[in-house]
Structure formats: C-alpha cells, structure tokens
Chain A
C-alpha cells in the first residue's frame, strides 16, 4: 500500500524558516517524481513544486520560487521542502503527492499524504 506521511509543520514567525518532510513507503520511491501541493485554510489547491526521481528536474510555482527548495533523499525514501522567508500567505496544509506520468513534464496526483499544517504568524 502506498503511504506518504508528512511532518515538520508548525507555527513559525514571518521571515523565518521551516523544513517539511514526507516519508514514502509501499513503492520504489527512487522511481517516482514527487510534488508538494498546498491548501490554505478554506481555500483550493495550489501546486508548489516538483522534483524528478533523480532530482535532475525541479519546477516551482512563482509564488515560492527563490524561497522554497524541494529535495529528496532516495536512500531514506524521503522528500523535503525547505521553506525560507516565510510569509503569512504561506499558511496552508502542505501535502506531498506522487507524480504518476511517465513524462517528467506531465502530471497527475494519485497518492496524497494527510498533510502537515504550516502557520505563519507573529
């Protein structure tokens, strides 16, 4: 069974940093690209970032480019999201989701974690 478990969320002050993790199990992690998707409270879904299976291809939403860094450790079956210069508008539930398409430049999300909540507030 595919499982994705996020952690690392919490309350953080504006301008500070936070690192999220997503531990994967039930599939060969190193064979799949991965994504971070977020959902602000009461709002819709916003794709945040993608990383290919071997970390060769990385894409970001413009809203986080230059502030967030997606990475992965295939030996640990773990996906990361390093978030810096956090803003109130980054407050959201952050999901990791597996990339399903064979093509790096195409995407849909069959498996999602339960999410980890990031709250940016003073």
Chain B
C-alpha cells in the first residue's frame, strides 16, 4: 500500500498569515495514464471532508485561489495564503493513483 506522510501534525497560524503542509508518498503517484492523483481535503469540526485540490494543483469548484497545490512524483505541498477563520480544521492529503486509496494522517490548522 502507498503510505502518505503529512507534516507537520499541527500548525498554528495568525489570521492573514500563510502556511504550507507537506505530503510525501512512499511510491510515485504518477498513474500509468500520466496523471498524478494527489488530492487535498479539509475537514472542519463536525463536518464531512471537503475537496480542495485534485490532481496535485487543480482547485475544486468554489475553492478560493488562496489555496494552491504543487509537487510531483512523491513530494507535494498545499499552501494557504491570507488564512481566514473558516480555513481552520484538519487537512488531509490522499492518493487515488492505486488501490487501496490512502490518506495522510492529517494536519490540524489552529489559530495562534
């Protein structure tokens, strides 16, 4: 199985600040069709996860351009700029390149 390692486990940020979350996979996430199926999700307290980014860098419909994804192969990053109160929660990366699909353990974003 592909192991997804997220760092850090938690982050404290001031409103308006910028943060980066790292996600590393134990194997390359390049699919045999050439695409890379790495996605990012935010789970706010008491809610279902919501998709932010898919295929490394594509923002899902309605997602602010304050969220950006980058990376390739096994190393990926989610950047959040101008952090707002509604951005707080747990962020997960996930790989959909091979079954079983797997997720990182999560990064909790809190206010400083």
**A contact residues vs B (CB 8 Å cutoff):** 35, 44-47, 50, 59-62, 95, 100-101, 103, 105-115
Are A105 and B94 in contact, CB atoms less than 8 angstroms apart? no
CB distance from A1 to the nearest CB of B (A): 12
Kindly count the residue-residue contacts between A and B in the assembled complex, taking CB atoms under 8 Å apart: 68
Q: Is the interface of B mostly helix, strand, loop or mixed?
A: loop
Closest CB-CB distance, B39 to chain A, in whole Å?
Answer: 4
Determine the chain A residues whose CB is within 8 A of the CB of B49 once the complex forms. 45, 95, 109, 112
Contact assessment for A47 and B55 in the assembled complex, using a CB-CB cutoff below 8 Å: no
B101 touches A47 (CB 8 A): yes
Can you name 19 extra interface pairs (CB under 8 A) apart from A45-B49, A95-B49, A108-B96? A35-B101, A44-B92, A44-B106, A47-B102, A47-B103, A59-B99, A59-B100, A60-B100, A95-B48, A106-B33, A106-B97, A108-B39, A108-B51, A108-B54, A110-B54, A110-B60, A111-B51, A112-B49, A114-B48
Set of chain A residues within 8 Å of B37, measured between Cβ atoms: 101, 106-108
CA A106 to CA B30, docked complex, whole Å: 10
Contacts A47-B101, A50-B99, A106-B97 given; does A112 touch B35 at CB 8 Å: no
Q: A110 to B51, Cβ gap below 8 A?
A: yes
Count class of interface residues, chain B: 20 to 34
- Contact at A115–B94, with CB atoms within 8 Å? no
Instruction: Tell me the complex Cα distance, A110–B53, Å.
Output: 9
Query: Bound complex: CA of A103 vs CA of B35, how far in Å?
Result: 10
The answer to whether B94 and A108 touch across the interface, beta carbons within 8 angstroms, is yes
- In the complex, A110→B92 CA distance in Å? 13
